Structure 1
Amino acid sequence: MKLAKEVAFAAARKAGQLSLERLGDVRKIDYKGVANIVTDVDQACEKIIIQMIREEFPDDEILAEESGKSSGKQSDRRWLIDPLDGTTNYAHGYPFFAVSIALTENDKGVLGVVFNAVAKELFWAELGQGAWLNDKPISVSKTGRLAESLLATGFPPNTPEAQRLSMEQFRSVTAASHGVRRDGSAALDLCFVACGRLDGFWERKLAPWDMGAGALIVEEAGGIVTDLTNGTWDIAQGNIIATNSMIQNELVAALNEKELARTIALAGS
C-alpha cells in the first residue's frame, strides 16, 4: 500500500498543479449532456494520472471519468479517477475543484486521495489508518443537532423529476439547519465533512469516481456513509449521505423521498 499511496499522492499533485496553471485558460469545452461538460484540462489531467498509475501498476483495472473503464489482469484492484471534480466551476474560473483518486480491492475502498490545488490541501485516508489533511489527522465535527448544522449538497444534471426532488430536499434541509451549501464538487464536500467544516452532505446520481475517495476519508475520520434511506451505501447506485453520525437520523428524516415526492405530486395536481 505504501507504493500505491506514493503514486496517488504524486499523481494528484501533478494533475492538480496542471489544473491550477491552466485555470482561466480553458481552450476547449465539450458537452456530455445539457449541463455536463468536459474540458481539455480534464482530459490532460486524466492522462497524467493514468500514465503514472500504469507505470507502477500495469495490471490494475482503472475506471476514469473521461476515458471510461480500462481492464487489467488484476481485476480485484480498481482505481477510480476523477481528474477534475468540479469541471463546471473550473470552466468558469470558480476556484472550487479537486483531483480525486481512489483504490478499491474486491470492491472495498482501501485508499482515498483528494487534492485541492487552490488551497494546497491533500486529504487522504488508508483503510484502518485514519484520515488526514496533509500531515495532520482529521476528524468529523461533534455537532449534535441538525438545527445547528451546516451541510452541502449537489443537484443531478439529468431528468426534471430528479431535479425537482433535489430542490424539495434542499428546501427541507435548509429550513431545518443553519444552511446548505452547493459548491459543485462532491469530492471536496465529502472531505469537508471529514475535517469538520461541514456536518453532513448528500447527493443523488453520483458516479463512483465522484465518491470513492471522499467516502473512505469520511469513514476513516469517524463519520458515517449510507444511502438516502439510511441503508447500506452502494457506490454503484450513486446516492449518498455522509455525516458526523450524530445528525444522521435527523438528516435522513428531512430527506424523506417518499414524503417529498408526494408533496411534489400534490403541487402538480
Structure 2
Amino acid sequence: MQGSANLNLMMKAARKAGRSLVKDFREVENLQVSSKGPGDFVSRADREAERLIRDDLTTGRPTYGFLGEETGETEGADPTRRWIVDPLDGTTNYLHGLPHWAVSIALEHKGEIVSGVVYDPAKDEMYWAEKGAGAWMNERRLRVSGRRQMIESIFATGVPFGGRGTLPATLQDLARLMPVCAGVRRWGAASLDLAYVAAGRFDGYWERGVQAWDIAAGMLLVKEAGGFVSAIRDGDDPLGKGAVICANEPLFDPFRRIIRGE
C-alpha cells in the first residue's frame, strides 16, 4: 500500500537514520571492553541519527515545526504542523548491544497525530500508519489481538530505573496486574511496545513518565489497528502527561481499572 507524500518522506528519513544506527551498532560490542565504554559513542550515534532525520524532514517540509529528543523544539512557519522525533528509542538496549530499538517519527497537525512511523532497523520492520488508513508493518495490515480474557493476555510496560519518581506506582501496578494476566514484558523501547500492541504481539501496554517522542507514532499505530488508547487518568492528555495505556476493546476497561487501582 502506498502512503501519502508526508508518510513516504518519514519512512525514507527513518530508513536513512536506521542505516546509520545499524552501522554504529556493530561497533558497540567492541566498545564494551574499552576503558571509556560505549556511552559517548552511542550519544554521538543518537545525535547523528536525529541530524539525518531533521535534515530530510526540514528539506522536504521547510515550514513544519520540529520536536526532537536531542535538539528540542523548533517552531515552524506553519504553526499547525510539527514533526515529533525520537531518533533512537531504546538507547539502553543499544548501549548494551541488545537488538531491540527503533526510530520513531510522528506528524502532528492541529494537535492531533495524523501520521506515524516506527522503524526497527535490526529486524527491518517498518511500522506505519496514517489517520483513517489503517496500520501496517512492511506490507502487512495490522490488527490488535483478539484475546478477551486477562488471564490469557500479556502486557508490556517500562519499569523506571535510577530511582525515578514513577517507580513506586509501577511496582504497585505490577503487584495488581501480574496475578491476573499471563505475563508482563519490559523490553525497553516504548515505541516498539506500542507497535507490538498494534501487531497483536502484546495485548496491552501502559507506562508513566514517557515523553511525547516516545509514544506519538506508536499511539496512532494502535488506534489504526483497532485498539483503544488513552491517558491512565480520565481527562489527561497522554502526550502531555506522559502516562499512556492501551489495549484491544475487550481488555481495555478491565486492564485500565487494574492499573488505576479501582
**Structure 1 length normalisation: TM-score?**
0.89
CA shift, 1:218, in A, is 0.3
Question: Matched residues in 2 for 1:179 and 1:231: separation?
Answer: 29
Give the corresponding residue for 1:262.
none
Equivalent residue in structure 1 for 2:92, among 59, 81, 88: 88
Structure 1 match to 2:13: 11
Equivalent-residue separation in structure 1 for 2:42 and 2:24 (angstroms):
14
- Aligned with 1:213 (options 186, 207, 217): 217
Query: 1:94 is aligned with what amino acid?
Result: L
The AA in structure 2 aligned to 1:222 is G
Is residue 166 from structure 1 mapped to residue 170 from structure 2 by the alignment? yes
How do 1:52-201 and structure 2 match up within 5 A?
Answer: 52-157=56-161, 160-201=164-205
Question: What is the alpha-carbon root mean square deviation over aligned residues?
Answer: 1.8
The equivalent residue for 2:22 is 20
Kindly report structure 1 stretches of 4+ aligned residues shifted beyond 2 Å: 24-30, 155-161, 229-234
The total of aligned residue pairs comes to 252
Q: Contact conserved, 1:152 with 1:201, CA < 8 A, in 2? A: yes
Residue type of the partner of 1:3? A
In the alignment, structure 2 segments of 5+ residues that lack a partner are 32-37
The superposition leaves residues 2-42 of structure 1 with CA deviations (integer Å, 9 ceiling, x where unpaired) of 22111101011111111111114257635xxxxxx961111
Q: What residue number does 2:39 align with? A: 29
Residues 115-163 of structure 1 show CA distances to partners (whole Å, capped at 9, x for unaligned) of: 0111110000000000001011110001001111011000234755421
Read off the aligned partner of 1:164 and give its amino acid letter: P
Query: Could you state the TM-score of these two structures normalised by the residue count of structure 2?
Result: 0.91
Distance 2:146 2:58 in 1: 40
In 2, are the aligned partners of 1:150 and 1:198 still within 8 Å (CA)? yes
TM-superposed deviation, 1:177? 0.5
Percent identity of paired positions between Structure 1 and Structure 2: 37
SS at match of 2:57: helix
- In structure 2, do the counterparts of structure 1 residues 23 and 38 end up closer, same or farther at CA, with 3 Å as the change threshold? closer
